[in-house]
Structure 1
Amino acid sequence: MTNTSQTEGDSTYYSTYTTYEYDFINGDIAKPAVSVNFFSRLVNFSLSIRNLLFSTLVVSCQAIVFLFCYLGYIRKKLVDSVYLLEGGKDTLVSVLMWRRGLLFRPTVHGGVIGIASIALIVSSLFSSKVAPKDFTRDLVLAATNTPETIIPSGRPRSEVLSYKVVSGETLSGIAKKFDVSVASIKWANDISDENSIKPGDTISVPPVTGVVYKVKSGDTLASIAKEYSADQQTIVDYPFNYIDDTLSIKAGQTLIVPGGVKPAPVTYPYAPATNNPIYYASGGGFFSWPVPGGGISQYPSWWHPAVDIAAPYGTGVYAAREGKVASLSYQGYGFGNYILIDHGEGYTVAYAHLSAIKVSVGQSVSRGQLIGAVGCSGRCTGPHLHFEVRRGGNAINPLSLF
């Protein structure tokens, strides 16, 4: 729009001109150019705002999806880490039980506690509906033909406990409270009359039923086992005695003699009777007895998840069931020379401390087939077969399967 003025004489004329665009195609006068430019810019601005809002919405949705996916990925990795740590812990425990001996004490105290602590810290980040593990222990499992029995692996008390008697307590009540025999407490405290204890007395309570013995100069494992009618291998296998593969003991060392019996003072030579049963191979159970004529020298327990079958050196060892040889090992520690056989249905058996091996890896064996000979290789105090059964990572009481 343009304003102009013209003067003629004494009069002045004012004119206003509006600029129009002419449509040469249609022959019409178009809308004013100023209006067209204004509305065009308004439309473009609106479209830009719409596109910006749409792009922002799309990016926001993608960011939310990415965040959820990333959090899911992180959670999965953390859960995998927990399972990895649990698997490592189980593997370490299995190795300790199958190759126990050298460096037992530092490995148990350092490795297991460290891995367990890390696993607990990491796993606490997530909720779990898994029932807590039951660490209830059964020191000696019944040797009966019962359904499969899993040997508990929880660690009990390892040290001799000083206990202060309170009013109303009896020696038998204290023994029941700590799951040991009355005789074990009497022997540990030189008590002849169990009714002689009174409130305020401090007594020593051993960790298991048996004898607490302080090694004297000249003592050997054989002499200690003989004195307390116990088995040498049981003393060696008890983990808190910390006896390494050299089987050496020293004066002043305190030993726990599990199942030991303190001899009563007598004037005639002490000759303890042997109550260990003798078994023979038969086909009546899931497993056949692997050493014909061999007797049990050590029963299964939480620290010794196997049965030891004593027999003369070189006595034949036979497959307890058909299966396939998974592995062999010739070593001077732990299990010594041993055969690992997969007997099917998830059962794997270790035949350990052998003097000879008569099979090869991958070989199929039948029930009652000769596979080796009784010996005393590895961490051993006398000729016997260490017969250990595992299923799904759990130690199984062999006596519940014969």
Structure 2
Amino acid sequence: MGGSNGKWKKAVVVLTTVLCLAVITGVSVAYSTEKAVAVKVDGKQVALVSDKRAAQKVLEQLKKEKAQQWKQKLIIKEKVNFVDTEAKRYLIADIGELKPILDKKLTFIGVATGLKVNGKTVAILASRAEANKVLDTIKKRFTANINNMQTLSVGFREKVEISEIPASLADVVTVDQAVEKLMHGKEKARVHIVQSGDSLWTIARKYDTHVADLKAANPEIKGERLDLGQEIKLVKEEPLLTVVVEAKATVKETVPYNVKVVADKSMWKGRQKINQKGENGSREVTYKLVLANGTVENRTVLNQKVIKPAKDQIVVRGARLVVASRGGSGRLAWPTGGRITSRFGSRWGSMHTGLDIDGYTGQPVGAAEDGRVVSTGWDGAYGKQVTIDHGNGLRTKYAHLSKIEVSPGEHVSRGQLIGEVGSTGRSTGSHLHFEVIVGGSFRNPLSYLK
């Protein structure tokens, strides 16, 4: 048993020694220095490879692929060098890793087509044909929906140029991308997604803008209602191009009738009647229109033809004033003529707040002064009444009327017909009860009438 154990111990020692030597040898080989090729772009090392020819072949293959993609010869913007050197073996990359490194580090320049607006390049396309397609697409967006018009010309307000320029393949955009940029501006419009509790006011405060600006940027918003998840543009999109369309359109239009007013001194002021009813006419008009991005900027009449002439409406308005002067020179005019049957003051043990003027049912009642009608209609014991505010705290009231000729809010002038004498409410016969109120207190009307 002892001899056997000794043999096993010797075998283990030998195996361990062999493994250690293998590890030491491997590490030594990995960290040993050997010949290599440094790949440099504009003097800066981007990779280490073992074979210069293989590295040059990778570069040529990449150039060939880019040329096929762009369908033209290309040049590399940066300077590429392959320099012999020495490096640790573990630092040397496999040749298959070089291609993606060069693709990332190099700029391939070719001849592209630049689209310029007012001298500034706004889009780079692969060909002149694609640049023209961009412009045609934008024109069609603003002419496709022009109905019942004859298009005379379509152009751009800005100076537009197409020219060949050197460009990086990475900067070339598609037709759709160029159209989107020209239609919506350089920068993609920022948006806010509506959340619970949002309103145009809170959104405006959050982004330091104004509600009017938000509404201008989102013309589809009507009123103040917003929906959860709705996108709100924060800035109004401004196209880089303005499509100007000149067109001709012939349309039929309504010609509104004119209203002619004739004064009639035999009719009470405040009354009117229609002597001739107006009728609209019609005409055919040919316009020359100038539209900028779909909005009409200018409209010129080229010719017009009357189909049916309009018929004037003739309105007769009363000019006769209610004049019931008793020779007084007070601020207020007498509202109607007749003898005084009851004065202001104590009457039958109570206060009579106005002046009773005798009259017959239907007798005209005029405004005592210019003012605004503040109330009309039934008012208890007053019956049918009209109250007028003359300003500076002065009001007049006309009660027991049989007919009212004015409405609340209407402005009346001194002497204008406002109603007719009657006996409505608590009344013993046809008469006008006339009150003067100053600062909310009843005053003797005679102090203002004479």
TM-score scaled by length of structure 1: 0.29
Larger Rg: 2
Q: Which has the higher helix share?
A: 1
TM-score scaled by length of structure 2: 0.26
